[in-house]
Amino acid sequence: MSNLRRSIKDIVDRFRDSVLSLSLKKAAREQNLSELVAKIESAVPDITNQYSCFKIEKPLTRVKVRCQHSFQISMVNRVIEEYETPVIVDIGDSSGVHLQYLKALHAEKKIKSVSVNMDAEAIDKIKAKGLEAVHARAEDVEDYNINPDIFMCFQTMEHLMDPCKFLYNLSSQTKVDYIVITVPYRRSSRVGLYHIRNNSDNEVCSENTHIFELSPEDWKLLAMHSGWDVYDESIYLQYPRKSVLRLTKSYWKKSDFEGLYGLILKRNSARSSQYLDW
């Protein structure tokens, strides 16, 4: 009987994953990301070791991550054309994959890059690809005299203890033009800290702990307070709006996030200078 139950569960799981994968692909098409998904997959065929805490092995996870990556790269593409030889720093980079994408997509620009991460394993992976990397906390990046044209900061802000001071330091202590940020999309702000919410005794670290999960409006307020203007913004959804597959919205909302919120910020100290106690 237990073997029968396992077989039924496996069939149900495979069907669910198939539907969710189709939903992701349909959502990508609807949001004009399908072509970019194909391009980045061609540029970096293997993303199995994208993260330090788990491997990307399930087909559903690969589709999900590729679609998210395409959205993130689409945000960077909106500003990279301003530069002939851009200098890009990826804060919280786990494997160098985004920089590999950009260097392949914009080979004519001869992009210069630096990755920053506090995880030594991530730094080793990035250096093994021939990319430059600095072993440092995201909050300390200004201490390394790194002055890029563009900062990238994907799925990092929600893990930081003090995102205001982090953004302020980048604005006031570097000469960067833009920072491109993506965070989990939430319609209403809340504090994460799931281990406390769930009364777990397990130890946690910054990589697997969300602290602030803010709404788009609150992320924008925080950014302006910290020395930035909102140059552009977008919301990426993991489900389509124009198909019966929009019913997968409830699954993503419950088990993960509806999608990602992306911000392109441009330095402007008008609001941060109003605050006297930095």
Residue 70 in contact with residue 146, Cβ under 8 Å? Answer: no
Residue 90 in contact with residue 152, Cβ under 8 Å? Answer: yes
Answer left, alpha or beta for residue 222, where phi above 0 means left and psi between -120 and 50 means alpha.
alpha
b/e map of 148-183 (b: 16 or more CB within 10 Å)? bbbbbbbbbbbbbeebbebbbbbbeebebbbbbbbb
Summarised one tens digit per residue, pLDDT across range 133-179 is: 999 887 777 777 777 999 999 999 999 999 999 999 999 999 999 99
Can you tell me which residue has the tokens 């994907």?
Answer: 154
CATH 3.30.70.20 fits 2-274, yes or no: no
The answer to pTM > 0.75 is: yes
Mean pLDDT of all residues in 46-52? 84
pLDDT at 10: 78
Mean pLDDT of all residues in 247-252? 95
Residue with the bigger pLDDT between 72 and 198: it is 72
* Distance, CA of 223 to chain centre: 17
Mean pLDDT of all residues in 43-56? 85
Question: What is each CA distance from 26 to 17, 130, 168, 201, 248, in whole angstroms?
Answer: 14, 35, 38, 39, 11
Strand partners, 154: 182
Question: Which is it for strands 112-117 and 87-91: parallel, antiparallel or unpaired?
Answer: parallel
Candidates 99, 111, 219; CA nearest to 166 is 219
